Structure 1
Amino acid sequence: MTAQLEATQVASTQLDKNTIRRRIAWRVAQEMNDGDIVNLGIGLPTLVANEVDKDVELLLQAENGLLGIDSLALEQQIDLDLVNAGGQHIIAIEGACYFNSADSFAIIRGGHVDATVLGALQVDKYGNLANWIIPGKMVPGMGGAMDLVVGAKRVIVAMEHTVKGKPKLLQKCTLPLTATGQVDLIITEIGVFNITQQGMELTELAPEFSIEEVQMATEADLIISPHLITMPTPH
């Protein structure tokens, strides 16, 4: 654990908070394809809307009942009646569709969402996800996460690699699970990780870090892809 703490301290001193969050959101945006219907979870995932290339035609969905999010609203653009599922003010594209929450979840449960991007407290090498509660702490509930992770065709976790010096990519989750075996891809400021039948595979490595540093900051035993590349970052 001492080695892990040293590695995470290296990570925290090399990148500031804004750089970390934008890097993750930008890299997630590169996973989006023309015609996709994508749900962005609360927190860091909402930043992905600001990073999607304008040439990529997406329909971003909010489970509170909107298909057609453009981006987070700037102060001068705020419409008090227009928010995402996390209560953040947003801008809608021309032709956006509004409906009630029941219809929104029918879209999700019916398998019509191509990808969902969620934050996480923990993810393990089996693709298990814990992202809704730390025992003993008050939370409003699981929300739509349990529907999204089983209803979406692809589950992408966007999160910082560690929290308070502790790894979030584990051999096995210790917190109550949101779902089992549903995570496909994990993107952090340090790298990109695929969940495979063999375990957690490192496919992209951020330029500031070595394989050894990533492994020290990760509890799960990593499989190093034979096609490992340098993780692209925003300019």
Structure 2
Amino acid sequence: MSETKGLTRQQMADRVARAFQDGWIVNLGVGIPTMCSNTDIGDRDITYHSENGVIGYGPAAPAGQEDLNLVNAGGQNVTLRPGAAVVHHADSFGVIRGGHIDATVMGAYQVSMTGDFANWKLKGQKGGGIGGAMDLAACARRVFIILEHVTRTGASRLVEACDLPVTARGVVTLVATNYGLFEPTGTGFLLREIAPGFSVEEIRAVTGGTLTVADGLREIDTTG
């Protein structure tokens, strides 16, 4: 095992980005998911989609080269790749609702072992931030979630059942945390890859529901 314990936010995004397949259109939501566009994807042709209408963007803009009118869903200044387009907000949602998104990557407060996720409202919060999450959850072919494994108080964000208002049920296919890569199975979480420095026992202790371990469990590669 590596001496470094856990994954940084960029490493979490890198691991999810490595799951993207050539030719995919990928929506990146607010927060850690936006970092996926910074990942070196080699010769794969990935079109990054933002709800605000930027389609085909690339990494964050270098300091001093920002275009203040060109931002991703999180408001960070980004660059454009060849063939990119800036479209009306309604057209951006037309891409989503038309079923053209191969994968959406979102943050969440909780993910359940049945693939439910909650990301729009906390307990006691008035209103909430729905955004396009429900549209994406309903229309994207795959839903990937990136989140910190535990809250600031140490509670697991991977839970047996969500106790926050649910965004969508049974749609999450892959979860990346700073502890590892997980798959909701319906009856628990399958640990597919483990973050550097953690043991299975440590992860099981901070994971809600049942944790099973994939055959040939390997450590997440943080070198690429």
Question: Which bracket does the TM-score occupy, shorter chain normalised?
Answer: over 0.9
- Secondary structure of 2:12's partner? helix
Alignment RMSD: 1.7
The runs of at least 4 consecutive aligned structure 1 residues that moved more than 6 Å come to none
Q: In structure 2, what is the Cα distance between the partners aligned to 1:34 and 1:216?
A: 37
Q: In structure 2, what is the Cα distance between the partners aligned to 1:138 and 1:76?
A: 39
Paired residues of 1:203 and 1:229 also in contact (CA < 8 A): yes
1:210 match: 199
1:91 is aligned to 2:79: yes
2:179 match: 190
Residue segments in structure 2 that go unaligned for 5+ positions in a row: none
**TM score, norm. by length of structure 2:** 0.92
Paired residues of 1:26 and 1:234 also in contact (CA < 8 A): no
1:226 match: 215
1:170 to 151, 159, 162: 159
1:54 is aligned to 2:42: yes
**TM score, norm. by length of structure 1:** 0.88
1:30 is aligned to 2:12: no
Q: In structure 2, what is the Cα distance between the partners aligned to 1:85 and 1:230?
A: 31
Q: Deviations over 1:74-113 (max 9, x none)?
A: 2212111111122221111122112111111111111100
1:122 match: 110
1:136 is aligned to 2:92: no
Q: Deviations over 1:97-141 (max 9, x none)?
A: 121111111111111000011111000101000011113335652
Q: In structure 1, what is the Cα distance between the partners aligned to 2:136 and 2:71?
A: 19
| CA deviation after TM superposition for structure 1 residue 42, in Å | 0.3
- Secondary structure of 2:212's partner? strand
Paired residues of 1:77 and 1:91 also in contact (CA < 8 A): no
Paired residues of 1:23 and 1:234 also in contact (CA < 8 A): no
1:68-87 aligned within 5 A: 68-87=56-75
Residue segments in structure 1 that go unaligned for 5+ positions in a row: 1-12
| CA deviation after TM superposition for structure 1 residue 203, in Å | 1.1
| Structure 1 or 2: more helix by fraction | 1
1:12-31 aligned within 5 A: 14-15=5-6, 20-31=8-19
